[in-house]
Amino acid sequence: MKKRLLSLFLAAVLLLALAACNGDTNKTPDNSSDQPGNSGSQDTQGSAKPGAGAKKMGIILGGTKDDYGFNLNFVQLAEQAEAELGIEVVLKENVPMTSDCEGVMEELIAQGCTILFPSQFGYMEYSKNVADRHPEVAFFSFPITDYVGDNFSVIHGEVQDVWYLNGVLAAECSTTDKIGFIGSLPIPDVIVAIDAFALGAQSVKPDIKVTAVFTGSWSDVGLQTTSVNQLIDSGCDIIAPFQDSIKTIMEICRSRGVRCFGCNADAYELAPDTWLSACITDWSGYLPYLKQTIDGNYETVNISGGMELNLITQATYGDSVPTETIKKLDAVREQLINKEIAVFEGPIYAQDGSVMFEEGYRPTIEEINVIDSLVQGVDGSLN
Amino acid sequence: MSELTTILICMISAGTPIIYALTGDLIGQRAGIISLSVEGSMLCGACVGFMLASSTGSLLLAVLGAAAAGGAIGSMQAFLSISRKSNMMTTGFILIFFAQGLTTFFGRGQLGTSLGKSFSLAIPGLSKLPILGPVLFSQDILTYFSYLLPVAAWWALTRTRLGLLICSVGERPEVTEAYGYHPKRLQYGAVILAGVLAGIGGAHMSVIYAMSWANNMINGRGIIASSLVILCSWKPQRAYMAAYLFGLAQALQIFFQIHEVPVSMYVTLMMPYLFTLIALAVISTSKKPSMPEKLKIVT
């Protein structure tokens, strides 16, 4: 009898714990009942454009907003959209990149969201399915995909220009002329970032060394710690991560007295003295498209661009960055925007000395997106 | 700093959480219960430990909190697999997922929190020794304890009445009972102790090593610790070898990349698991002479 009571008690405790976990992760309560006709109604088809008169926008995230990286970035989009467009934003966190995300999108549409913003590449296939079922809902994809058409648009920020600027900044700040780069996986975005970063650093100090290591995951805290410590011990005095969550790296850098970049979000407030800058999305380039959609003038777009389209920018500079350096960075930024210089302007040599781009040649974005080798001056291997 | 020193420091720091979880689970296994839930205990310990360390600034409170949180998961494992006789492997896995959910939810507020200070504590004099000084004696109080822990466990299991009783439960519980002791109480104690020690290991990981809390930050280290018990042949004095082997493999993952050792990155990243697998394959040929009898029924 005693045991039965005890097991009942334990079951009750488990249930209570589960109930406690059922916190509301939505940014706003569900009040879709106030807005009939907004949820999945087919009568808007034909007469109105997708997303016309939208009152709610849904953002689908792969992680949580407290990662000081990729996902926090979208929270900043939510804040700006709410402030400037007066639209309600519903954030869905930790959505798996499986067919489950279709259900999440359907739920958002049922709640009245008529603009959806899938953030991860893993959602694309499923987003397209949902987009086909709901022609009245406007989709804006963040990653590049082939699914563009009808109510499915792509607006992608290109990272190379800002990573180049980060490289310039790193070279200006480094005294040991050794910089550590902590990559996640050797995928195109990361390789382009490392190359652009190294080229930027070399534009200031031609002999500077960039050491790249890969952790094989986006947020293994243990490996991040090991990487930072070993890079610092090998002489690096600046660390640049390409990871989803940079909090641990920032903490270790602070405790060891070296400076560090962020990744994907402005996390200046974490450690203003340790923080240098980061490559982040400039949402001001996205808002006009959202406004156009709300006004009922949705156009399918397939845009990929950088600072010239205000799609990407550099985050706040850290407190330790001198004013002259900021002036110099502003000048380089102007040159990049005016196309006076280009990040991958030839001659560019690969690690083994072979020519990647001929003298004077400026590769197109398609060619940049398929770069599969590290440039000369980078220590590290992709294999 | 020489490269050897760097590698060894990383080896010790990465191995320390493993030593705690490994020694704990080893004692539990000697009593006849495998707690895969040490992974969950480590997670809860890491979360609660970081919470207390960042809010109070006291390492002692953090360790006590972590021990309690780890022990709580351990006691669930104990209740389910001793009193309710559920399958200990499945129970362990369920508890891991339970701990992941709990810590993700309650750890949210900690994701952006900063510890504000470092808890490392170099031993004056000893830390100035060449090579071994910075490696062994420029660490922190939890690491210094971890040097003693396996020896203490060895002494307790082989030289004290309580330790021998715990081992006897893992071999022949009916004999222990015939002598007038309570096998279940002893098992409860051993399994909860496994959780407590794993919780402290988790606190080392979050408060001292990574100096931050991140969701699911233990990332399988508890499960590895549990499997390394076999590598130790259930002898606590071998915990050093097993845990530091894992730590060394982890340190080499990055070391090989920095120093451009011509080994594929994918191979270096799987090294800790490869080391463990090879070691298990080698050990398992020796007919498991020291495996507790009760585990032979389960495995």
* Local confidence band at A14 (pLDDT 50, 70, 90 cut-offs): low
Is the Cβ of B253 closer than 8 Å to some Cβ of chain A?
Answer: yes
Encoded amino acid at B219, one letter? N
**d(Cα A87, Cα A56) in Å, to the nearest integer?**
6
In B, minimum Cα distance to A248 occurs at: B212
The three-state DSSP-derived secondary structure of A76-115 is: HHHHHHHHHHCCEEEEECCCCCCCHHHHHHHHHHHCCEEE
Is the Cβ of B285 closer than 8 Å to some Cβ of chain A?
Answer: no
Burial of A41 from C-beta contacts in 10 A (0-12 / 13-18 / 19+):
exposed
b/e map B231-255, b = 16+ CB within 10 Å: bbebbbebbbbbbbbbbbbbbbbbb
Instruction: Examine domains A48-157+283-309 and A162-278+317-379 and report if their fold is the same.
Output: yes
Q: pLDDT exceeding 70 applies to what percent of chain B?
A: 97
Tell me the chain A residues in contact with residue B212 when contact means C-beta distances shorter than 8 Å.
221, 247-248, 251
Residue A142's pLDDT is what? 82
Reply yes or no on whether the pLDDT at B286 is more than 60: no
Contacts of A62 (CB under 8 A, 6+ apart): A70, A71, A94, A95, A97, A119, A120, A122
Distance of CA A276 to the CA centre of its chain: 18
Contacts of B278 (CB under 8 A, 6+ apart): none
The two three-digit tokens of residue B268, written as one number: 């270096």
**d(Cα B68, Cα B199) in Å, to the nearest integer?**
8
Q: Over chain A, what is the mean pLDDT? A: 85
Contact B10 A6 (CB under 8 A): no
Any idea what DSSP says for residue A375? Answer: B
Q: pLDDT exceeding 90 applies to what percent of chain A?
A: 46
Binding-face residues of A in 216-255 toward B, CB within 8 A: 216, 219-227, 229-231, 233-234, 245, 247-248, 251-252, 255
Provide the residue count of chain B: 299
Binding-face residues of B in 135-154 toward A, CB within 8 A: none
Distances (CA, A) of A335 to A167, A276, A317, A339, B61: 15, 21, 19, 6, 55
Contact B265 A10 (CB under 8 A): no
Q: What is the DSSP string of A145-199?
A: -S--BTTEEEEEE--HHHHHHHHHHHHHH-SSSEEEEEESS--HHHHHHHHHHHH
Residue A44's pLDDT is what? 43
**d(Cα A142, Cα A300) in Å, to the nearest integer?**
14
Nearest to A255 among B13, B118, B258 (CB): B118
Please state which CATH number belongs to domain A48-157+283-309.
3.40.50.2300
Contact B257 A214 (CB under 8 A): yes
* Local confidence band at A50 (pLDDT 50, 70, 90 cut-offs): confident
Residue B285's pLDDT is what? 59
**d(Cα B46, Cα A4) in Å, to the nearest integer?**
32
Nearest CA-CA distance, residue B210 and chain A, Å:
6
Tell me the chain B residues in contact with residue A66 when contact means C-beta distances shorter than 8 Å.
108, 111-112
Work out the average pLDDT over A31-60. Answer: 61
The two three-digit tokens of residue A40, written as one number: 């999945």
Of the spans A67-71, B32-36, B282-286, which averages the highest pLDDT? B32-36
* Helix ranges, chain B (H): 3-30, 38-56, 59-78, 88-106, 132-137, 141-159, 161-171, 173-178, 183-203, 221-231, 239-258, 265-283, 293-298
Distances (CA, A) of B85 to A294, B79, B220: 60, 8, 25
ipTM above 0.85, yes or no: yes
In B, minimum Cα distance to A72 occurs at: B112
Say how many CB pairs under 8 Å bridge A and B. Answer: 125
Domain boundaries, chain B: 3-111+140-298
Find out whether A312 and A161 touch, Cβ atoms under 8 Å.
yes
Reply yes or no on whether the pLDDT at A34 is more than 50: no
* Local confidence band at A45 (pLDDT 50, 70, 90 cut-offs): very low
Domain boundaries, chain A: 48-157+283-309, 162-278+317-379
Find out whether A238 and A170 touch, Cβ atoms under 8 Å.
yes
Q: Over chain B, what is the mean pLDDT? A: 91
Find out whether B207 and B62 touch, Cβ atoms under 8 Å.
yes
Q: Three-state SS for B282?
A: helix
For the entire predicted model, the pTM comes to 0.85
CATH of A162-278+317-379, one of 3.20.20.70, 3.40.50.2300, 3.60.21.10, 1.10.3720.10: 3.40.50.2300
Work out the average pLDDT over A207-218. Answer: 92
Residue A39's pLDDT is what? 39
Find out whether A295 and A337 touch, Cβ atoms under 8 Å.
no
Encoded amino acid at A175, one letter? T
Work out the average pLDDT over A294-304. Answer: 87
Of the spans A10-14, B65-69, B254-258, which averages the highest pLDDT? B65-69
Q: Residues A342-356: pLDDT tens digits?
A: 899 889 999 988 999
Is the Cβ of B297 closer than 8 Å to some Cβ of chain A?
Answer: no
**d(Cα B252, Cα A114) in Å, to the nearest integer?**
50
Phi, psi (rounded to 5 degrees) for B283:
-65, -40
Residue A15's pLDDT is what? 61
**d(Cα A177, Cα A195) in Å, to the nearest integer?**
17
| Rounded (10°) CA dihedral B65, B69, B74, B76 | 140
Which residue did the predictor score with more confidence, B87 or A29?
Answer: B87
* Local confidence band at A102 (pLDDT 50, 70, 90 cut-offs): very high
The two three-digit tokens of residue B232, written as one number: 């130790």
Residue B283's pLDDT is what? 72
Contact A222 B83 (CB under 8 A): no
Residue B299's pLDDT is what? 60
Work out the average pLDDT over B182-200. Answer: 96
Q: What is the DSSP string of B86-112?
A: --HHHHHHHHHHHHHHHHHHHTGGGTT
Contact B105 A20 (CB under 8 A): yes
Contact A222 B221 (CB under 8 A): yes
Report the first-to-last Cα separation within chain A, whole angstroms.
62
| Rounded (10°) CA dihedral A345, A346, A349, A355 | 140
**d(Cα A223, Cα A263) in Å, to the nearest integer?**
17
Nearest to B6 among A68, A212, A230 (CB): A230
Contact A251 B210 (CB under 8 A): yes
Is the Cβ of B84 closer than 8 Å to some Cβ of chain A?
Answer: yes
Contact B265 A381 (CB under 8 A): yes
* Local confidence band at A187 (pLDDT 50, 70, 90 cut-offs): confident
The two three-digit tokens of residue A220, written as one number: 């293994």
Tell me the chain B residues in contact with residue A268 when contact means C-beta distances shorter than 8 Å.
none
Residue A29's pLDDT is what? 38
Binding-face residues of A in 253-292 toward B, CB within 8 A: 255, 270-271
User: Scanning the structure block, which residue is given the tokens 């006009």?
Assistant: A288
Reply yes or no on whether the pLDDT at A26 is more than 90: no
**d(Cα B41, Cα B36) in Å, to the nearest integer?**
9
**d(Cα B258, Cα A249) in Å, to the nearest integer?**
17
Nearest CA-CA distance, residue B1 and chain A, Å:
6
Contact A230 B217 (CB under 8 A): no
Reply yes or no on whether the pLDDT at B262 is more than 90: no
Rounded (5°) CA angle B37-B64-B105? 55
Contact A245 B214 (CB under 8 A): yes
Q: pLDDT exceeding 90 applies to what percent of chain B?
A: 65
The three-state DSSP-derived secondary structure of A296-363 is: CCCCCCEEEECHHHCCEEECCCCCCCCHHHHHHHHHHHHHHHCCCCCCCCCCEEECCCCEEECCCCCC
Residue A24's pLDDT is what? 41
The CATH architecture one would assign to domain B3-111+140-298 is Orthogonal Bundle (1.10)
Substitution target from B257, B261, B264 for chain A, most A beta carbons within 10 A:
B257
Find out whether A215 and A224 touch, Cβ atoms under 8 Å.
yes
Residue A3's pLDDT is what? 67
**d(Cα B81, Cα A273) in Å, to the nearest integer?**
51
The two three-digit tokens of residue A269, written as one number: 């407030």
Contacts of A242 (CB under 8 A, 6+ apart): A181, A182, A183, A184, A189, A190, A193, A194, A263
Work out the average pLDDT over B56-78. Answer: 96
Contact A233 B6 (CB under 8 A): yes
Is the Cβ of B85 closer than 8 Å to some Cβ of chain A?
Answer: no
Tell me the chain A residues in contact with residue B251 when contact means C-beta distances shorter than 8 Å.
226, 230
Kindly report which listed range (A95-99, A302-306, A322-326) carries the lowest average pLDDT score. Answer: A302-306
Q: Of A48, A76, A58, whose CA–CA distance to A262 is shortest?
A: A76
Burial of B299 from C-beta contacts in 10 A (0-12 / 13-18 / 19+):
exposed
Contact B112 A66 (CB under 8 A): yes
Contact B102 A211 (CB under 8 A): no
Phi, psi (rounded to 5 degrees) for A83:
-75, -40
* Local confidence band at A235 (pLDDT 50, 70, 90 cut-offs): very high
Contact A271 B114 (CB under 8 A): yes
Any idea what DSSP says for residue A275? Answer: B
* Local confidence band at A20 (pLDDT 50, 70, 90 cut-offs): low
Nearest to A248 among B98, B112, B211 (CB): B211
